[in-house]
């Protein structure tokens, strides 16, 4: 059994660093476009997002893509940046419940899943790039 005394949960900045490492590990063809998506990390999803998505338990939402997928973008779309949200405490909760995956791998998986919405990727596309279960 591990001794957890004196250890702290990863910070928002550490979760962000894990996601950015996942972005940097993407195939070159996707890295530049992925870098244009703003990354935000918060402890839990804000109430307005939970209400809009009709989610009662904030621990059910580990990440969220806000924007228009590249496959659907037009010049008439709002000019604000697309955003990927990662929710630290929900990710940590899922990681603890699973007990069978490294935290950086789970964080990368959540990030890539949300990025998939931006790119308009299919499930097969995601599986080819994000092999986190291996």
Q: Cβ of 43: how many Cβ atoms within 10 Å?
A: 12
User: How many distinct structural domains can be found in the chain?
Assistant: 1
The verdict on residue 7 lying in a domain is no
The verdict on residue 23 lying in a domain is yes
13-39 pLDDT per residue, tens: 999 999 999 999 988 888 988 999 999
The verdict on residue 134 lying in a domain is no
Comparing 49 with 130, the larger pLDDT belongs to 49
The verdict on residue 5 lying in a domain is no
The verdict on residue 62 lying in a domain is yes
| Pairing between β-strand 83-87 and β-strand 63-66 as defined by DSSP bridges | antiparallel
CATH number at residue 92: 3.30.2010.20
Structural domain boundaries enclosing 83:
12-68+79-129
Instruction: Give me the mean pLDDT over the 61-67 stretch.
Output: 94
The verdict on residue 74 lying in a domain is no
Q: What is the pTM of this model?
A: 0.86
The structure tokens listed for 77 are: 């779309």
Locus of tokens 């630290």: 88
Query: What strands, in cross-sheet order, belong to the sheet with 63-66?
Result: 38-42, 83-87, 63-66
Q: How far apart are the first and last CA of the chain?
A: 24
The verdict on residue 4 lying in a domain is no
72-101 pLDDT per residue, tens: 777 776 667 899 999 999 999 999 999 889
């Amino acid at each position: 059994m591990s001794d957890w005394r004196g250890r702290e949960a990863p910070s928002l900045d550490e979760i962000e660093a894990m996601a950015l490492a996942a972005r940097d590990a993407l195939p070159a063809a996707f890295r530049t476009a992925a870098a244009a998506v703003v990354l935000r990390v918060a402890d839990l999803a804000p109430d307005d997002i939970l209400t809009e998505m009709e989610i009662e338990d904030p621990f059910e939402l580990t990440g969220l893509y806000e924007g228009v997928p590249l496959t659907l973008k037009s010049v008439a779309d709002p000019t604000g940046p697309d955003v990927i949200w990662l929710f630290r405490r929900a990710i940590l909760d899922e990681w603890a419940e699973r007990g069978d995956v490294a935290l950086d791998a789970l964080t990368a998986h959540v990030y890539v899943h949300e990025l998939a919405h931006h790119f308009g990727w299919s499930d097969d596309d995601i599986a080819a790039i994000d092999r986190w279960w291996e």
